[in-house]
Structure 1
Amino acid sequence: MKMGWYLLLVILGFDLVLNVSGNLEGDVLYAWKTNLVDPNNVLQSWNASLVNPCTWFHVTCNSDNSVTRVDVGDASLSGQLDPKLGQLSNLQYLEVYGNDLTGMIPSTLGNLTNLVSLDLYLNRLSGPIPDTLGNLERLRYLRINNNFLSGSIPMSLTNIASLQVLDLSSNNLTGDIPINGSFALFTPWSFRNNPGLKPQKFPPPPPLFQIAPTPSAGEPSSP
């Protein structure tokens, strides 16, 4: 009998943890929603009264009711990215492309260490690319093109070995284009339409040491 009560308490406690987690993630997304202009009511289902955000449109969760995907591309949203989005610890896909977002890319997005895809292209984001994005060791797709980003390309991004697709084009970036690490795989297409960026070239290999040919018999040797 005692064992049965113990198991029930464990199950209830586990369920409470999941609900609290869901509430925290829901609070983050709802707070972001309240600071966005949403003329088409795309985020109408983002209701703070629900236990967790897993029933909201444009939000995907895993089996533990934790948010893994936010898809609000081409939604005519305006406003800014909320730094609290960095608290969505299990987020894998952040798709916020094709809107009218302004302001900076929050450095807290570097806390999303499970992120696979970060698509912020076709907005009006400005400021530097956060160096903290180099912490996203599982990132495969980084598309932040067609914004107003400035400053240099963080060298930390070259340490993301999993990076397969990179598009930093059509911004106001300046400085040298890195050529080390994962960046060695990307062509000038990833960096086009940034007048202030300077392509680098690998240094030429040192000249080969040439051994003078041995004179044939009967030929005079060189003086």
Structure 2
Amino acid sequence: MAVSSRFADLPPTTIHDWARSDEYHNSFLIPKDPAIDYAIHKSKEHGLPDISVTEAQGKLLNLLARSLGAKRILEVGTLGGYSTIWLGRALPEDGHLTTLEISEAHAKVAEGNIANAGLTNKVTVKVGPAAETLKTLSPNPPFDLAFIDADKSGNLTYFLEAKRLLSKGGVIIVDNVVRNATVADPGVSDENIEGVRALLEHLKADKEVDATTIATVGGKGYDGFLYALKL
């Protein structure tokens, strides 16, 4: 397939270029943050996988939550609490974030990181399979924003529950939906890819939301997120 681009004559870029670009832009726009650095250090110290959002993506989540004026946020997939901290800081004084994590060990690390960031009073970590925990949550009052970044095979389940819990005009963000363009390759398949495909197939006919996918490159590779608005 021929691709037309104003950058067609430039040499291909690599993850090293994307990481350098992230670092350059972040140096102007994201000040050094002891609580964020602490969360990264403690997550590595306890052997958590390095699969959190990038620094720029964390800042984007924070800005989106602030732009929405979100008072109640739902997060599916806590890991070490890195994205939780970015989102929690966007909340007003009376705001609250509920984050779901399947691993007790991960949740313990996250709680320490959240406490170090001074957000314990704004964040509740619920431990257990998210598909089960979500069913116990009430939409009264509704959530304003949901961020889904857990096992990709559960994407559709998590999305449908998040939609149930969201207010009209609320936003759902689903991470890792491009996966180095493998989702669009019919010759490639695994449970993560199929989880994204199932969500996309559902969204094609879901009249209760309007959504788009934004591809991204950065220090952690070529991926993207889905942004959905509850109508």
Which is bigger in relative contact order (C-alpha 8 A, separation at least 6)?
2
**Which structure dedicates a bigger proportion of its chain to strand?**
2
TM-score normalised per structure 1: 0.29
Which one has the largest radius of gyration? 1
**Which structure dedicates a bigger proportion of its chain to helix?**
2
TM-score normalised per structure 2: 0.28
